[in-house]
Structure 1
C-alpha cells in the first residue's frame, strides 16, 4: 500500500513537471534579466495580460508600444521577478485570486488554449509526440473553465478581451494537432459572445503569416512574430479603454 502511494505521488509529480515545464523556443527561456514588473505612472489606465508563453513573448513589446499611456502588467511568479506562464484553464482558475492582485484593472487581455490541447502522457509523466494520447483539458472542460474565468474577470469591472489561440504547424512538440486550435477557438468564441467579451483574433491574423512570424515546427514566435502580435494586442487594449 505504501509503495503504491509513493508510486502515485511520483507519477503526479512527474506529470506536473511535464505540464508546466518551460517549452523549448518560448520567451520564458530568455526571461531572466528583463524587467517584468512595471513602474506605473499614476493616473494612467492599468492593463493586465494573463496568458501562456505566447503572451509572455509579447508582453514587454506591448508595454513599450503603450508607454506613457497605459501601465501594462502581467502575473509574476510568487517570490520572483519572473513572468508567470498561466497555463491551461484549470491552472488559471486555480491562480486567479493572486493573478488579479494589484491596482484597479481597466482592461484585462487574456489567452488560454495551447496548454489545454497539448498531449501529456500521464502514465509516464512526460510530454508526448503521440496524437492518440488524450489532450490535457477536453473541449467540454475547456468550455466550463472559460466560463468560470470570464465571470471572475468581468466581476473586476474591467473591460475583458480574449485572444484566440494562435495557430501552429503539424509536428510541434509536445504534440498539438493543428485542427484542435480551430475547435478550441470555436468553443472560446461561443463563450465570449455569450458573455459579451471582446475578441482579439490572433489566430486569423497570424495564420497566413506563420512562415514569417513563427519558429520552425514550434508554437512559439520569432522576434518578428512577437512584435507583430504585440502590435495587435496593444491596438486591442487601446481600442477597449
Structure 2
C-alpha cells in the first residue's frame, strides 16, 4: 500500500502531466510548446528557508512533488532549464544562483556527462561519438562545482545519478556506477551530504522507469520526490513539521 505522502507526490506529478496536456495546442505544429510547470517562477513566502534544486530532466520530474510536499516549510526553486552536464553547470552556476541567499542546495549532474554525442551533438552509440565528460573530467568538474556552491553558505546535498538501462539512446547501461563511485568519493572527501537516489529507485525500477529510457513514470518521479524531500528536510535550518 502506498503511503498518503507518496500519493500526494504522485498527485502533484500527475497534475503536472495533465496541465501540460491541457495547455498544449492540438494539431498546430507551429504553435509553441507549453512551458513545463516546473519552470514556474516562485514568489517566496517571507521567513521560510530557500531551497534550490539543480539537475537535469530527472529533477524536472520531481520538482513539483518536492515543492508541494515542502509547501509551508520551504521556498523551493529551480532554474527554468535542464541543467545538463557538469561543464554547463560551471558555465551557468552564477546565473542559477542569482543574488539571493540559499539555505539548502540539492544538486545532481551525471546523465549528461556520461552520454555519447557525435560532432553535430546528436546521441550516438559509443563507437560513433565521444563521451561528454569521462569520469576523470566529471570528477574534476564536481570538485569545482562544490567549491563554488560552498561560497553561498548553503547546506549542500548531492544526489547520485539514477540508473542507465539497456538500450538507452546514447548511453551505456550501468555507466552511472563509475560516475557515482567518483561522485560519492568526492562528496565524502569534501563533507557534502549524499542523497542516494540510485539506491532509492532500484527496488521499484521495473515499475518506475520507462522501458529502455533513463526517464521515469509519474510513479517513479513521485518516489524520487519523496527521497528528495527527506534529504532536504534533514538539512533545513530548523525543525519542520
Distance 2:109 2:35 in 1: 23
Residue-by-residue CA offset, 1:110-157 (whole Å, 9 max, x unaligned):
0000000001012x4421134563311011110110000001111110
Choose which of 131, 142, 149 in structure 2 pairs with 1:146: 142
Cα deviation digits, residues 142-198 of structure 1 (max 9, x gap): 01100000011111100000000000311011x211221000000000110111000
CA contact (8 A) 2:126 2:171 kept: no
* Pairing 1:156-195 to 2, within 5 Å after superposition: 156-173=152-169, 175-195=170-190
Mapped to 2, the partners of 1:98 and 1:238 lie a distance apart of 25
Partner of 2:231: 236
Give the TM-score normalised by structure 1: 0.81
Q: Using the alignment, how far apart are the partners of 2:136 and 2:174 within structure 1? A: 16
**What is residue 38 of structure 1 aligned with on the other side?**
42
1:17 aligned partner: none
The list of structure 1 runs, each at least 4 consecutive aligned residues, that deviate by more than 4 angstroms after superposition, is: none
2:95 aligns to what? 98
1:89 to 70, 86, 89: 86
Secondary structure at the counterpart of residue 166 of structure 2:
coil
Structure 2 residue runs without a partner (length 5+): 1-16, 21-33, 237-241
Gaps of 5+ in 1: 1-26, 77-83
Question: What's the CA shift string for 1:28-62, capped at 9, x where partnerless?
Answer: xx562626211211000000001111011111110
Distance change (3 Å), C-alpha of 1:62 and 1:136: same
Partner of 1:68: 72
Equivalence for 2:204 = 209
CA contact (8 A) 2:165 2:174 kept: no
Give the drift of 1:209: 1.5
C-alpha displacement of 1:108: 0.1
Separation of aligned partners in 2, 1:117 and 1:33: 25
Quote the residue 1:108 is aligned against.
105
Superposed CA RMSD? 1.6
Which shows bigger deviation, 47-56 or 133-142?
133-142
Tell me the number of residue pairs that the alignment of Structure 1 and Structure 2 aligns. 204
Q: CA deviation at 1:102?
A: 4.5
Of 58, 61, 80, the match for 1:57:
61
